[in-house]
Amino acid sequence: MAKMIGAIEVDIETCKGCSLCVEACPTDVIALADEVNGKGYNYAYMANPDACNGCTNCALVCPDSCITVYRKKVEMA
Amino acid sequence: MAKMIGAIEVDIETCKGCSLCVEACPTDVIALADEVNGKGYNYAYMANPDACNGCTNCALVCPDSCITVYRKKVEMA
Amino acid sequence: MKEEIIIAGFGGQGVLSMGKILAYSGVMQGQEVTWMPSYGPEMRGGTANVTVVLSDNRISSPILHAFDTAIILNQQSMDKFEPLVKPGGLLLYDPNGITRHPERDDINIYKIEAAEEAAQLKSAKTFNMIVLGAFLKVKPVVEMENVLKGLKKSLPERHHHLIPMNEKAIQRGGEIVKEVTLVKA
Amino acid sequence: MKEEIIIAGFGGQGVLSMGKILAYSGVMQGQEVTWMPSYGPEMRGGTANVTVVLSDNRISSPILHAFDTAIILNQQSMDKFEPLVKPGGLLLYDPNGITRHPERDDINIYKIEAAEEAAQLKSAKTFNMIVLGAFLKVKPVVEMENVLKGLKKSLPERHHHLIPMNEKAIQRGGEIVKEVTLVKA
Amino acid sequence: MKGNEAIAEAAIRCGADGYFGYPITPQSEVMEKLMELQPWNSTGMVVLQAESETASINMLYGGAGCGKRVMTSSSSPGISLMQEGLSYMAGAELPCLVVNVVRGGPGLGTIQPSQSDYFQSVKGGGHGDYKLIVLAPASVQEMADFVELGFDLAFKYRNPAMILSDGMIGQMMEKVELKPQQKRWTDEEVAQMHPWATTGKPESRDYNIITSVELDSEAHEKFNHRLQVKYRELEEKEVRFETTDVDDADYLIVAYGSSARISAAAIEILREKGIKVGLLRPITLYPFPTKEIQRLGAKMKGILSVEMSSGQMVEDVRLAVEGKVKVEHFGRYGGVVHSPDEVAEALEQKLIGG
Amino acid sequence: MKGNEAIAEAAIRCGADGYFGYPITPQSEVMEKLMELQPWNSTGMVVLQAESETASINMLYGGAGCGKRVMTSSSSPGISLMQEGLSYMAGAELPCLVVNVVRGGPGLGTIQPSQSDYFQSVKGGGHGDYKLIVLAPASVQEMADFVELGFDLAFKYRNPAMILSDGMIGQMMEKVELKPQQKRWTDEEVAQMHPWATTGKPESRDYNIITSVELDSEAHEKFNHRLQVKYRELEEKEVRFETTDVDDADYLIVAYGSSARISAAAIEILREKGIKVGLLRPITLYPFPTKEIQRLGAKMKGILSVEMSSGQMVEDVRLAVEGKVKVEHFGRYGGVVHSPDEVAEALEQKLIGG
Amino acid sequence: MAEITEDIKVAENIVHKKSSVLTDKVMHYCPGCSHGVVHKLLAEVIEEMGIQDKTIGVAPVGCSVFIYNYLAIDWQEAAHGRAPALGTAISRLRPDRYVVTYQGDGDLAAIGTAETIHACNRGENMVMIFINNGIYGMTGGQMAPTTLEGMKASTCPFGRDPKTDGNPLKITEIVAQLPGTNFVTRQAVHTAAAVRRTKKAIRKAFEKQKDKTGTSFVEVVSTCNSGWKMNPVDSNNWMEENMFPFYPLGDIKDV
Amino acid sequence: MAEITEDIKVAENIVHKKSSVLTDKVMHYCPGCSHGVVHKLLAEVIEEMGIQDKTIGVAPVGCSVFIYNYLAIDWQEAAHGRAPALGTAISRLRPDRYVVTYQGDGDLAAIGTAETIHACNRGENMVMIFINNGIYGMTGGQMAPTTLEGMKASTCPFGRDPKTDGNPLKITEIVAQLPGTNFVTRQAVHTAAAVRRTKKAIRKAFEKQKDKTGTSFVEVVSTCNSGWKMNPVDSNNWMEENMFPFYPLGDIKDV
Ligand SMILES: Cc1ncc(C[n+]2csc(CCOP(=O)(O)OP(=O)(O)O)c2C)c(N)n1
Ligand SMILES: Cc1ncc(C[n+]2csc(CCOP(=O)(O)OP(=O)(O)O)c2C)c(N)n1
Ligand code: SF4
Ligand code: SF4
Ligand code: SF4
Ligand code: SF4
Ligand code: SF4
Ligand code: SF4
Ligand SMILES: [Mg+2]
Ligand SMILES: [Mg+2]
């Protein structure tokens, strides 16, 4: 079976922890970190990376263009 | 037979000879005088007084409120 | 030579364009000229006047408080400008609509029945040219050939067919202008 | 007595209102006070700071270039204001998010783990009151009863139920503030 | 209380009838405070956020034309948009109060305090020969007090008045004593006190016209002459200023508003060094305390005009002393506020030679 | 040709790119003439009637930002509406040409000639520390010539320039010699000559920003300082004036524009009486011919500043001579034009004593 | 019968005379200018409603700047385009008064666009009279926002070309769609019947003000024979043929 | 599987990344501000159309005043409300360029009303982007012309009351009725789907400009969580519930 798997990369320093990506992700991949970045924001990260399908929703709603999305079709058993 | 007869009085000095009353009169009562008033305008006057029925049309369209209209019901033979 | 002229009358009498033709005529003659209208809402219905200065030298001010010539075309203007003609100067007027005729005896007074003449010619538009012709007859401050050039210059191309008619009116004005009183020399 | 204080940190840390309470406390104590915020778009996300002056006499300028006390709540502010503390003055800071700790040896330095404490109290809003408590412990420039009056005055009526919580936070700040270095006397 | 808030509180208390404004930093708190206080429920004062500063000033025109005490506040760019309106109000002899909490210009500039709108305020930013009455507060208390003073002068002379403040005075908090609430004028009082106002034409008087247009230039010159007579009267009677430490002074600082406060601190520094400096603080920028500066200036070795600008008021100081004493300018600008040290140093350098 | 028409003709001939304006007496002929000449068909110049003067000046901002030679014209009330825009353009260092054909103010005033917008033009009608380059034509010929000069100075210094004329010069007709048609700059030339302009960011350069805002007050002070350096350079290099009959003169008249013409006639009258009077006519009102007035003033028994205003330029004359010679003002105002006789009489009365 | 005509000229037979709210001053308008007609109707409505002492007018900058000389009510003369701002303040500070603004098309729909729209959108309690003559009369006949496509004016001497000069603006339709207006109508005064209708509309606009439910807006499509360079009678005809199709008469909103 | 996640992070698998037209500067906006999203879409459209060198932008006065720091195209910063006037001149003097104005609701629909309406009515060839967040963000949350009835702002702290504060203004509907506009749409960026639609709309607006047939106008109903005093996620929800009923999304005009 072919399946889309995805991954995101968050630019931690420019992330402002707005949570919009968290909300936008259909598969609950993203959460805000407990730690803060240099600006004092709890940045977003892949809390549940396996669930990501690379749909780009998170990146689309991110006001700060912090998210790069990768996607690949993989064959699964 | 009862009939409406009318008359108008034009304030010659404030009349500007615009001709709008001439145009508005349904019974062709009014004309512009050959003479001019103090401002140099050919003022309006009752050229055909008998035809006036006091409909006030002329007064209504006059921009300079120069026209007073009189009307009376008279019995005619 | 320096001639300071006021032309004054109702809006619509062609006062400003008469002044303009005079000014252009001066330019054609190589003179310095200024043309300064009164302007604004008074134009509508009210009075209009223009000051024209023709001079061989640089003209300092185009707005004047005394004139060599006053060309007067209605009563208000008569009241306002008769007193401002310089002693020995010229007052030219059209008596139509004038209720108080000029009274000064230290200036030269001429009259021109231009309105009447224009009515006879059935061409209200020539009124101001008749007046101009009268003035040039009395004071030939510019030569006729330059006046015609000035006329051409001040009329838009599409109105150039009117020039002959205007020329005739100017001529007619010169013919019918009448002396009223001259300064006792 | 004259105390010139800068409080500086991120927008949203309650810097301005901490300053306001301090200022009102001074007023309650009968002092002259000024409160002068940095203001404008920087407020969003960026830094925010406020200068508070408490004095027994008329205060000439509310904008200062050197301070008796700097209360510092983020790294940018540390960089900017550490150098501006007067020799012998006080620098109080929250080490949370601070990457370069203060280095001067001619001033008194204290730290207050207010963010951590506020997180433990599960009440981010008390953060600034903890810091205020720490400051008042180190420099009791106003009496506690006046601080409470100031608190009351600066809070809108509808928030007066929060006063006890704030009072506790102030107290707690006083308890946990830590001396870092003192000027060698 | 913040300077801006003091304006709002004072406006309500002195019985103002209307505020019309448009938000702009660093003075938005004026309208915000008013909206929070809802004076329409207490005194009946109207508070309206207009669509622009252009609309605001013309709303003032309308309100003032009815004999009402109306005001607006803004900051530099917004005030520039009011210049036509201000010229109209001066031309129609309408009283009103305009607060300018100046920020650094030109253009959008900074939102930091500045004093670079002096020329605009006192020389005439709008067209024509007119003057505003210009008050320069140096404390939050004066922000409050000058609201009433501004209205009083505006109505006394039927002329727009301006409070020329800056971001520092507007944003800072200080202790303020507010006056007790005064009643607003009733419509009947207005009709009586201001018979020129358009209050609705009763049978008993001819109709009133508020206008600034005149076709006949001679008549318009007469009107302008009347304005000039009024301005001479203002210059005669309404000059306000404050002097400190001038009696024994060798040098004089002339400074208004924030700069006056900072200069006072500078003078302390200088006096500690043994340099005797006094302060003249113009309170009215128009009418300017020309005579007093002339009088005091004659005794001085030099005058330093201190403003947060590249040098505007300094021209009026120079005009006052007519070359009889050296006048220098000092000021940081573009939103930077000078420190007392800088002022002190400038005085030493520019007047004493360093 | 009328002064206003001369502006229009000269604009096309000097290769202006755009005119944006709104009708107002006494200068509507500028746009009317342009519309009649349809330069978009010949040189490609854009002519647009804007919805207001506020829009006009901001259209100038947009056009100037692209490195184009853009201009507007208006009269006093309309110019007041441009004050914010002018401050922005000065703050963004944008070149443009604004013609003010002044009429009597304040307010709607008269449509007759006046010179009462001097302060607004040279001191800064808008907010902030900025200056306009101000040219004062005294003839229809200069109305034409100063269009090109104005553009040249504006672009040289990246600063708005103004032609400060009045209803007299605007409405009068005089002989004019127009320069031959010059080509408009091509887009490529613009990009090369004005690398700061927003012409579309090619790969070869960073993107350009035209702005006047700065959050950091220190940076904004630096920018303002740069402006001041520019103004000092203008004051050094671009002062223009004309003197007549000054060599043997005992008295000096300083007058610009219409007033200078009238003063020239007054001087003839006075010289006939044996009173030796000379004329200094500032051509640039900013930068003002301060040094020349100072130099000439030193030799005079008195100076009369003649303006059609209640006395504005006279302040700059006084600042120039620093009390060293008596300076008096004379001027009719509110739309009244003084006569040579009145000027002559005023000089005798005010300076010689009558 | 000429004698009869003279005979009936006695006060009791008067059926139309100059409104007492009009002053004796001769209007400065060009012969045949629509402004005069509308002034008269305004005066008549004010007289008939008996509100001369309760009405405050706001004059524009435009040919009608001097309306204040002709109607004997209290007037303020606004800066160009700002009458609605003045009206706003007057109406709010004197809610016991009728406020009427009077503006031309340049004034109301060009420079004053923002003030017009925002006053109407706020629903300021006032009557706005809008004289749309498709031209800038006062300044000598320049293009107005309402100048028709192809129509000549001194700043579009070859006829308005929407490509370069922009489109004619129907501001009244915009105003009608704003929630703050309670009555929006377009009328004319070229015939006696039209004059009667316009007077009714103005009267209605004033009546509506009693309820304080917002702005009442009366456009009068008008002639400017000077600007149009036609005589008054031809102007009326031209207006009927050319203006009315684009600016159709009638009520647009009545709530 | 976490390893896979790391493994696929190679260039060839990138399906979304920051647009190259965006600069490296960190935007000054509050966390979650809609401005950032719209900036990004604008950058992406410009990048995808390959018109970075042909586009001139006009920035407003409002929170987005510094948009010029974030998109690497030539920019002019306009005075408050005047962006359409700048755009008019730029577009007419550089008809070979794409002109895009970017404005907030205070800027475009309050102080700039006249400029907005007249530019659209003239049909200036430019793209106008209108960020309607119902508030004055930059100056700290005052009432905007588009603030909803009952909505709180610092100058209507008890909620907008149309009686005193005026009605919310639907300027986009007005603009749509002007003959000069060729495409008028209202969008939002609160969900991924909405973002996709808004990007399409912006792209379409730019495409339309190729034909020089007038103004293309894109409203984006937006959040200002700082001004609204809610977190970004709640703001989006509040917007859906309250703003969309009054400002319904979708194309309003497309000719
Ligand atoms: C700020 C300003 N700009 C321009 C003018 C010049 N001006 C006077 S009236 C007018 C337009 C008049 O047209 P309109 O409003 O249509 O009135 P109308 O004369 O046609 O009745 C203009 C542009 C002015 N007085 N003030
Ligand atoms: C002439 C002028 N008036 C007022 C201001 C202050 N000001 C700056 S931004 C702004 C409004 C911003 O609101 P909006 O346009 O909705 O943009 P947002 O910040 O919400 O994106 C105001 C009133 C100004 N800079 N200039
Ligand atoms: S949407 Fe962007 S800025 Fe917001 S939390 Fe996610 S990554 Fe960070
Ligand atoms: S790409 Fe889609 S699935 Fe993956 S984190 Fe983003 S929103 Fe979630
Ligand atoms: S309508 Fe009036 S002004 Fe015109 S001609 Fe008749 S009476 Fe005279
Ligand atoms: S009243 Fe009627 S009939 Fe008589 S003159 Fe007037 S229009 Fe004619
Ligand atoms: S110019 Fe036109 S609007 Fe003005 S008075 Fe004359 S006809 Fe009427
Ligand atoms: S204040 Fe509002 S509009 Fe401005 S950046 Fe913050 S969230 Fe965005
Ligand atoms: Mg009109
Ligand atoms: Mg907004």
ipTM associated with this complex: 0.96
Predicted TM-score (pTM) of the model is: 0.96
Does ligand 7 come within 6 angstroms of the Cβ of G226? Answer: yes
CB-nearest to C36 from F171, F175, F339 is F171
CB-nearest to C34 from F113, F172, F262 is F172
Count how many pairs of residues, chain D against chain F, have C-beta atoms within 8 Å: 3
Position C161: which residue type? H
Model confidence at H25: pLDDT above 90: yes
SS3 per-residue string spanning chain E: CEHHHHHHHHHHHCCCCEEEECCCCCCCHHHHHHHHHCHHHHCCCEEEECCCHHHHHHHHHHHHHCCCCEEEEECHHHHHCCHHHHHHHHHCCCCEEEEEEEECCCCCECCCECCCCHHHHHHHCCCCCCCCEEECCCCHHHHHHHHHHHHHHHHHHCCEEEEEEEHHHHHCECCCCCCCCCCCCCHHHHHHHCCCCCCCCCCCCCCCEECCECCCHHHHHHHHHHHHHHHHHHHHHCCCEEEECCCCCCEEEEECHHHHHHHHHHHHHHHHCCCCEEEEEECEEECCCHHHHHHHHCCCCEEEEECCCCCCHHHHHHHHHCCCCCEEEECCCCCCCCCHHHHHHHHHHHHHHC
* Predicted local distance difference test score (pLDDT) of residue C57: 87
State both tokens at C4: 């300071």
pLDDT band of A40, cuts 50, 70, 90: confident
Q: Cα angle at D166 between D163 and D167, to 5 degrees?
A: 85
Cis before E287 (ω within 30): yes
- Within 10 angstroms of residue H14's Cβ, the number of other Cβ atoms is 15
| Contact criterion met (CB < 8 Å) for D34 and E173 | yes
* CA of C44 vs chain G CAs: smallest distance (Å): 5
Would you give the DSSP letter of residue C62?
A: S
Q: Which residue's entry shows tokens 């006091």?
A: B54
E57 contacts E82 by C-beta, under 8 angstroms = yes
CB-nearest to E62 from G68, G72, G87 is G87
Touching pair G, E by Cβ (3+ pairs < 8 Å): yes
Strands (E) in F157-263, as ranges, are 160-166, 209-210, 241-244, 251-255
Among G95, G76, G97, G39, CA closest to E198? G76
CATH number at residue D9: 3.40.920.10
A35 C-alpha to ligand 4 centroid (Å): 21
- Within 10 angstroms of residue D146's Cβ, the number of other Cβ atoms is 18
Helix extents (H) in chain C: 15-28, 75-81, 114-120, 127-138, 144-154, 163-176
**What is the overall mean pLDDT for chain C?**
89
| Domains F3-187 and F241-352 are alike in CATH topology | yes
Q: Which residue's entry shows tokens 């696929």?
A: H8
Count of structural domains within chain D: 1
Q: How far is CA B71 from CA B3, B28, B48, G164, G199, in A?
A: 10, 17, 16, 54, 21
CATH fold of E241-352 reads: Rossmann fold (3.40.50)
* CA of H195 vs chain A CAs: smallest distance (Å): 6
Q: How far is CA E187 from CA E17, E39, E158, in A?
A: 11, 18, 18
Residues sharing a CB contact under 8 Å with residue E222, sequence separation 6 or more, in sequence order: F334
Count of structural domains within chain A: 1
Residues sharing a CB contact under 8 Å with residue G175, sequence separation 6 or more, in sequence order: G116, G117, G120, G181, G184, G215, G217
Position F110: which residue type? T
CA–CA gap between residue H91 and residue H75 (Å, rounded):
13
Q: Which chains border F (3 or more CB–CB pairs < 8 Å)? A: C, D, E, G, H
Give the three-state DSSP class for F154: helix
Report pLDDT digits (tens) over E178-191.
999 999 999 999 99
CA–CA gap between residue D94 and residue H55 (Å, rounded):
47
CA–CA gap between residue G108 and residue C131 (Å, rounded):
43
Model confidence at E11: pLDDT above 70: yes
Q: In chain F, which residue's Cα lies nearest the Cα of G65?
A: F108
| Contact criterion met (CB < 8 Å) for F49 and G143 | yes
Rounded to an integer, the average pLDDT of E53-74 is 98
* Maximal C-alpha separation, chain E: 74
State both tokens at F288: 């003002």
Residues sharing a CB contact under 8 Å with residue F282, sequence separation 6 or more, in sequence order: F136, F240, F241, F254, F256, F288, F289, F313
Does ligand 3 come within 6 angstroms of the Cβ of A25? Answer: no
E246 contacts E280 by C-beta, under 8 angstroms = yes
CA–CA gap between residue F204 and residue F232 (Å, rounded):
34
Give the three-state DSSP class for F73: strand
Position E275: which residue type? I
Give the three-state DSSP class for G227: helix
Report pLDDT digits (tens) over E101-159.
999 999 999 999 999 999 999 998 999 999 999 999 999 999 999 999 999 999 999 99
Give the three-state DSSP class for D121: coil
Q: Cα angle at F91 between F85 and F97, to 5 degrees?
A: 55
Give the three-state DSSP class for C68: strand
Residues with CB under 5 A from ligand 9 (ion): G 104-105, 133, 137
CA–CA gap between residue F161 and residue F155 (Å, rounded):
9
Determine the structural domain holding residue D165 and report its residue range: 2-179
| Contact criterion met (CB < 8 Å) for F265 and C60 | yes
Rounded to an integer, the average pLDDT of A43-63 is 97
Model confidence at H146: pLDDT above 50: yes
CA–CA gap between residue C144 and residue B31 (Å, rounded):
42
State both tokens at D119: 């997180």
Rounded to an integer, the average pLDDT of E281-309 is 97
Among F250, F248, F313, F312, CA closest to F281? F313
* Contact status of G95 with chain H (Cβ, < 8 Å): no
Q: Which residue's entry shows tokens 């420190």?
A: E339
Write the Ramachandran bin of D155: left for phi over 0, alpha for psi from -120 to 50, otherwise beta.
beta
Model confidence at A11: pLDDT above 70: yes
Which residues lie across from D53 on neighbouring strands?
Answer: D4, D34
What is the Rg, in whole angstroms, of the alpha carbon atoms belonging to chain C?
Answer: 15
* Correct CATH for F3-187 of 3.90.1150.10, 3.40.50.1580, 3.30.390.50, 3.40.50.970: 3.40.50.970
CB-nearest to G16 from B22, B52, B59 is B59
The segments of chain D whose pLDDT lies below 70 read 39-46, 184-185
Q: Which residue's entry shows tokens 């009458």?
A: G83
Residue C36, domain member (yes or no): yes
Q: Which residue's entry shows tokens 């990007």?
A: H199
Q: How far is CA H115 from CA F48, H102, H110, in A?
A: 14, 13, 10
Instruction: Using CB atoms within 10 Å of the CB of residue G230, give its burial: 0 to 12 exposed, 13 to 18 middle, 19+ buried.
Output: middle
Q: How far is CA G143 from CA D19, G146, G228, in A?
A: 58, 8, 11
pLDDT in tens, chain G (255 residues): 567 777 899 999 999 999 999 999 999 999 999 999 999 999 999 999 999 999 999 999 999 999 999 999 999 999 999 999 999 999 999 999 999 999 999 999 999 999 999 999 999 999 999 999 999 999 999 999 999 999 999 999 999 999 999 999 999 999 999 999 999 999 999 999 999 999 999 999 999 999 999 999 999 999 999 999 999 999 999 999 999 999 999 999 999
| Contact criterion met (CB < 8 Å) for E35 and H139 | no
Residue D23, domain member (yes or no): yes
Which residues lie across from E161 on neighbouring strands?
Answer: E97, E133
Position D41: which residue type? P
Give, using CA atoms, the residue closest to atom 5 of ligand 2.
E24
Q: What is the DSSP string of H40-101?
A: HHHHHHHHHHT-TTTEEEEE-SSGGGGGGGTB-SEEEEPPTT-HHHHHHHHHHH-TTSEEEE
Does ligand 4 come within 6 angstroms of the Cβ of A10? Answer: no
Which residues lie across from D34 on neighbouring strands?
Answer: D53
Touching pair C, A by Cβ (3+ pairs < 8 Å): no
Q: In chain F, which residue's Cα lies nearest the Cα of D42?
A: F215
* Predicted local distance difference test score (pLDDT) of residue H33: 96
G192 C-alpha to ligand 6 centroid (Å): 11
Q: Enumerate domains of chain G plus CATH numbers.
A: 20-254 (3.40.50.970)
Residue C185, domain member (yes or no): no
| Contact criterion met (CB < 8 Å) for H80 and E40 | no
CA–CA gap between residue F3 and residue B33 (Å, rounded):
42
- Within 10 angstroms of residue G241's Cβ, the number of other Cβ atoms is 9
CA–CA gap between residue E233 and residue E157 (Å, rounded):
9
Q: Cα angle at D70 between D65 and D71, to 5 degrees?
A: 140
Q: Which ligand is nearest to the CA of B29?
A: 6
Which residues lie across from E255 on neighbouring strands?
Answer: E306
Where do the domains of chain E lie?
Answer: 3-187, 241-352
CATH number at residue A70: 3.30.70.20
Determine the structural domain holding residue A48 and report its residue range: 2-75
* Predicted local distance difference test score (pLDDT) of residue C46: 65
